[in-house]
Structure formats: structure tokens, C-alpha cells
Structure 1
Amino acid sequence: MAALVAVVTDSTAYLGAVAGVAVVPVQVVGHDLTSGAEETRRGDFTSGTRESSRGDFTSGTEGSSRGSSTSGIEGSSRGSSTSGGRISPRDRLSRFGRTPPGNRTSHHPPGSFSSDLAFDEDSFTGDLASATTSRPAPARFAACYSALAAGGATAIVSIHVSGELSGTIESALTAARDAPVPVEVIDSRSIAMGLGYPVLAAARAAATGASLDEVVTAARASMRTTRTFFYVDTLDYLHRSGRIGTAASLLGSALMIKPLLHLADGRICLLEKVRTSSRAIARLEDLAVQAAGKGAVEVAVQHLAARERAEALAERLHKRVPDLRDLRVVEVGAVIGVHVGPGMLGLTITSSDA
């Protein structure tokens, strides 16, 4: 019997912008686990330029004719569960009688956003100062894994946001222990498209009929060649959600510093400090060009409520990166938005040969 490996990830509506970047046409079936839902953890805001060998900022993957949940991102005849796409994941999945579990972003006054759905920029960004997030319960993962197995998957690769930033991976591991088929849970040590690129690599491998081990290898190879840099207008959101320390936040506010950040060992760390936003964005561009080198690469420009700046940055990168195989501009979803705040720009670079 041929392997039917399903790929599960946490992903959000900002994948809609990459819906046209296809691998294989897909039939959408199954469940979606949306990204970034997390427990608040205190982390040090460490400086330095240490690179993460594991990739960085989230997307979704491709899908499957077998137990696959993907909206718009095309995928695999071998199973892939994730979201994204110009059509809402909830709308697509409802055709199959299933509702994606989704991590939730709550705000006050009472209400909620689910990160598999696009949010209204004007209404949501105004509530970011009081928003919180929560990770999905293990039962949601268990339901997802069971549905995929019932749909024909013989194994599952479950790839998620960094365990240093979220409790999502713990829920996945708990559910995996009692899953009806083998489940390999991978901590991407990253977020956003730094998670997304490994997921895409796994889904592409699954589309070829690869074994469980081969799909895992593809994901990990992509993690090793993926880097993310990002800029935020203020450190307040990262501090409030416990992603950086108090001292760093106060220092940044007092000196009007515009920090450039990256992920190192799964944590958000300071890379450089720049005095103005224009200089910070220019430096962000230079870092991406340096990281790209002369090899074949794919680049994702991510933003929150900063589309004009993101598109202008993408245009400049299109001219400067020598062997650019794919360039996409995506807006991050509600869950990540809670932690970075409006004005965020992120760049993720990955080898297209991974």
C-alpha cells in the first residue's frame, strides 16, 4: 500500500496572498490548525547576531486528495493539512462538513478572531493593545489527526510554531501519542513564513508519494536554509506578550530605537538597533540581499497594516536579489499581529533547492 502522508501545520489567513504559488492541484478535505496561538512566556531580549539554523517567520502548505486541509495553496495528492488561500479556509472546509479548529485571538470588549480567517484591518489593529492569544487544546489536534487517518492518511507530519514562543507544539505532542496513525511532530523553531517554507517543502515531498521519513527530511532541510529578519515600529507589543524583557522595551522607547530582530534557537532576539524607520527598512533589505547570496532563493515579505511599504520593499528586492525564484507579499494574521503590532515588516529567505 502506498504511503499517504498528511502534513499538518498552524497557519493563518495571510497565506491568501500566496494562493497562486502552486505545487500540485489539490482537493481540499480535512481540518486546519491555525497558527500562532500561544501561552505567554517570558523571554530574554538577547542581543547578538546569532543565526538560527532552523528557519523563521509562517505559512501554510499544500493539500491533498487524501485528508488535506488547505485553502488556495495547492498541494499534494498525498495529503497536507493547512490553511491559506483567497477563499476562506472556513468556507472551503464547510463544503466537506468540517470546521477548522483554529487558534483564537480574543479582544476586549468580548469577541474573538480566529486566525484561519482574514481580519478587518481597521477594526482589529485598533484593538491590538488589549488582545490576547491562547493555544489550541490537544483535543483539536486529536480530532484533526483522526479525521486525516479516516480520510486515508497512513502517517502525519505535524509542523508547528516555535515551542519557545508558543505552547502549540505541546498540544500537538499530547495528541500525537494516541493518534490512530504515526505522527511526527516537528518544532519549526520559527514563526510565519519561516514555518511556512518547511511546511511547503514537506507538502511537496508528500505530493510525490514520499515516505514519512522522506517528508520529515524535506521539512528539516528547508528549516536549515530558512532565515527571517523583521522590523517592528515599537517593542511594546512584544513586551506585553512576554516575548522580550522589560528593560529592552523601555530602552527602545526611551531612545526611539527601531529594532531589527531575528529568530535564534526559536526565540526572538535583537539583531541590530537603528535610529529611524527608513534606515531600519533599508537595513532589512540589505540583510535579505546578503542572506540570499547568489544562490536560487524564495523570498516572502510579510507585514501588518503596511502593505505599501511591503510592496515597495518587494519591488526593490526583485531588482537586487540575483536568482530570485519566487517573491511573495503576505499580511500576517490576527494571532501574530497581537505580538508584533501594526507597521511590522518581515523578510524570510529560503533556498529554492532545499
Structure 2
Amino acid sequence: MARIAWITDSTAYLEPAFAQEKGIHIVPLSVVFGDRSYREGEEIDEATFYRLVRESPAPPTTSQPSLGDFVALYERLKAEYDVGIAVHLSGGISGTVETSRQGAAMVGFPVHVIDAKITTYPMAFILKAGIRLAEAGRPVEEIVRHMEDVRDRMRALFLVRDLSYLHRGGRLNMAQYVVGSLLQVKPILHFVDGRIVPLEKVRTEKKAVARVFELFDEAVRNVPRARVAIIHANVPEEALRWQARLGERYDHLDVVVSTFGPVIATHVGEGTIGFGWYPLREGEA
């Protein structure tokens, strides 16, 4: 059986214990405040990030791993493993996935690099699906096909509360930002072809939350089973309320709570919350 190296980047926001147990290699993206760069998961945690957001005169930016980061990793893994499987955040929002491919090619280490076409915990779902098959002794090609199939079933809905982050990221122009703020518009975002785009714009917080649950219900109520992540940006109590609400309504969902870590929170803003999920096929573990 091939010795598989598992690789992802920090925006999967994997549980540290799971990553350590499975020996997953995590390449960090970075958050930049002024002239100081912090490697996500290594040099900055969420509490420090939100403190710096409040204290810094200018908003943070982000940067992807360098080609050198991947070359160094793959040089090391080449000596220990037969093949690698890497899952990275969408190529539609970051160049990380392409840099990973370039690094593997430069080193000559065979890595199946999967563009998740999404970010945050859905990446962990994809990675875990592959690990389950590997532990069942399935061949690498079958594992990769299954991971890509899980990727293609993945969906997400996110409710953004602070429009200033979307404005700074170029997803709202100034007029949309001003009018949206005045009218209390709350965008509901999703992924299309690996890019974050508005699905609907709903007036008032209460109606927007209700609409997210309505859209989610339409997606999951008729599937036999689904894995779901509730993902939040520094609103843990609300995330737990959402989890309890799902528990009261559904008995066929496997639900976890995760976060938008510093890199992704830089772009969506504090208070953002939503779902990432995929339906399971009949008999799928």
C-alpha cells in the first residue's frame, strides 16, 4: 500500500488533535497588519487576531504561502512518502493551489493537488473523506476520485453582517456599500465555480437568518444523510444556538461547529456565520 502524505493549508481550520493524530501537513497562509506578517495557526490565534483588528489603524490583508514553502515541504515529504494528496482553498480566491502544484513539480514529488473550490471546514470534510478510504486500504486513484466527488457535492451559505469587508474586498462598490448599510441589507453568499458571490440580499438581520435556514432546509430535508459544519467568525454562542436549532429539527445530519479563522475572517468580517455541507450517498461512510 502506498505511503500517502496528507497536505492542506491553514484555511481548512482542522481540529489540531485530528491533524496531529493523522499526521496532516498544514501549510499556513498569513495575515498582515501593517509591516508585520503572522502565519496563521502558528504565530496568531483568533483572539489575538480580533484584538489586533480593533487596535490597528488599518484593516489587515492576507498573503498565500510562497513557492519556497511548498518546495521545502515537498522535499522533506519526498524522502518519507510515495505520494501526496493535497487539498487547498479555492483557486478562485487564492493562488495557493497553483503554488502547491508548482512546488510539487519542481521537487518531482507526485502530489494529487485538489482544488477544493471552497474554503474553511468543507476542506476538512474533503480531506477526512479521503483518509477514511485510505484507512480502508483503497488505492490512491480511487481515493482521489472520491475526494473530488465529495468536493463536487459540497455547498455553502454564509450570512455577512458587516458590509465594509465586502466593500474593501471589491465585492461591493461604494454606492452598494452605502445604500446597503442604510437599508440594513445582509448579503447571503455562496460559492459558484470556486468564487464567493452573492446569492441573495435580504433586508434586516432577522429576515436574513430566516432565509439562510429556509435555503438550507430546501437543500437537506430530502437527503438520507448529510455532514454539516456551522462556521462562524467570533460568534460562538450564536453558532451553538444554530446547532441546537438543527438538532431540534433534523435527525439525519452530522453537525460540527467550526470557525472562519484569521485569514478568511479578514475577508468576510466578524459576525459572519453560515453552513457548509454535503449530502452522503447511500451506504457512504
- What does 1:25-44 align with in structure 2 at a 5 Å threshold? 34-35=10-11
Which letter does structure 2 place at the counterpart of 1:102? P
The TM-score, its normalising length taken from structure 1, stands at: 0.72
CA distance in 1: counterparts of 2:53 and 2:233, whole angstroms: 9
Which structure 1 residue ranges, 4+ long, deviate > 6 Å from structure 2? none
Q: Is the 8 A contact 1:285 1:313 kept in 2?
A: no
Measured against aligned partners, the alpha-carbon deviations of 1:206-242 in whole angstroms (never above 9, x if no partner) come to 2233322122112111112211000011222123133
Corresponding residue for residue 154 of structure 2: 226
Corresponding residue for residue 33 of structure 2: 107
Corresponding residue for residue 81 of structure 1: 25
Which letter does structure 2 place at the counterpart of 1:314? Q
- Secondary structure of the 1:174 match is helix
Which letter does structure 2 place at the counterpart of 1:148? L
Which letter does structure 1 place at the counterpart of 2:5? A
CA distance in 1: counterparts of 2:21 and 2:135, whole angstroms: 4
Structure 1 residues 207 and 245, CA gap change in structure 2 (3 angstroms): farther
Measured against aligned partners, the alpha-carbon deviations of 1:254-304 in whole angstroms (never above 9, x if no partner) come to 432111110111111111121111221122122222211232111111111
Please state if 1:257 is matched with 2:257.
Answer: no
- What does 1:308-347 align with in structure 2 at a 5 Å threshold? 308-324=237-253, 326-347=254-275
* Greater Cα offset, 282-291 or 336-345: 282-291
Please state if 1:173 is matched with 2:117.
Answer: no
Structure 1 residues 107 and 75, CA gap change in structure 2 (3 angstroms): closer
117, 125, 128: which one aligns with 1:189: 117
Please state if 1:131 is matched with 2:60.
Answer: yes
Where does the alignment leave 5 or more consecutive residues of structure 2 unmatched? none
Corresponding residue for residue 141 of structure 1: 70
- Secondary structure of the 1:200 match is helix
Instruction: Please report how far the alpha carbon of residue 252 of structure 1 lies from its aligned counterpart in structure 2 after TM superposition.
Output: 2.3
CA distance in 2: counterparts of 1:264 and 1:244, whole angstroms: 17
The TM-score, its normalising length taken from structure 2, stands at: 0.88
Which letter does structure 2 place at the counterpart of 1:115? E
Q: Is the 8 A contact 2:122 2:229 kept in 1?
A: no
Structure 1 residues 74 and 222, CA gap change in structure 2 (3 angstroms): same
- Secondary structure of the 1:173 match is helix
CA distance in 2: counterparts of 1:221 and 1:76, whole angstroms: 25
Instruction: Please report how far the alpha carbon of residue 76 of structure 1 lies from its aligned counterpart in structure 2 after TM superposition.
Output: 7.5
Of structures 1 and 2, the one with the larger relative CO (CA 8 A, separation 6+) is 1
- Secondary structure of the 2:17 match is coil
- Secondary structure of the 2:86 match is strand
Corresponding residue for residue 71 of structure 1: 16
Corresponding residue for residue 49 of structure 1: none
Corresponding residue for residue 287 of structure 1: 215
- Secondary structure of the 2:91 match is coil
Corresponding residue for residue 82 of structure 2: 154
- Secondary structure of the 2:16 match is coil
CA distance in 2: counterparts of 1:146 and 1:211, whole angstroms: 23
Corresponding residue for residue 3 of structure 2: 4
Counting aligned pairs with the same residue, the percent is 31
CA distance in 1: counterparts of 2:72 and 2:218, whole angstroms: 43
CA distance in 1: counterparts of 2:138 and 2:208, whole angstroms: 42
CA distance in 1: counterparts of 2:158 and 2:207, whole angstroms: 13
- Secondary structure of the 1:177 match is helix
Structure 1 residues 148 and 253, CA gap change in structure 2 (3 angstroms): same
Q: Is the 8 A contact 1:230 1:261 kept in 2?
A: yes
User: What is the count of residue pairs matched by the alignment?
Assistant: 277
Higher fraction of strand: 2
Structure 1 residues 74 and 175, CA gap change in structure 2 (3 angstroms): closer
Q: Is the 8 A contact 1:7 1:202 kept in 2?
A: no
Q: Is the 8 A contact 1:285 1:317 kept in 2?
A: no
Measured against aligned partners, the alpha-carbon deviations of 1:108-146 in whole angstroms (never above 9, x if no partner) come to 3x4343222422165144158510001110111122222
Corresponding residue for residue 96 of structure 1: none
- What does 1:232-243 align with in structure 2 at a 5 Å threshold? 232-243=160-171
Instruction: Please report how far the alpha carbon of residue 71 of structure 1 lies from its aligned counterpart in structure 2 after TM superposition.
Output: 2.7
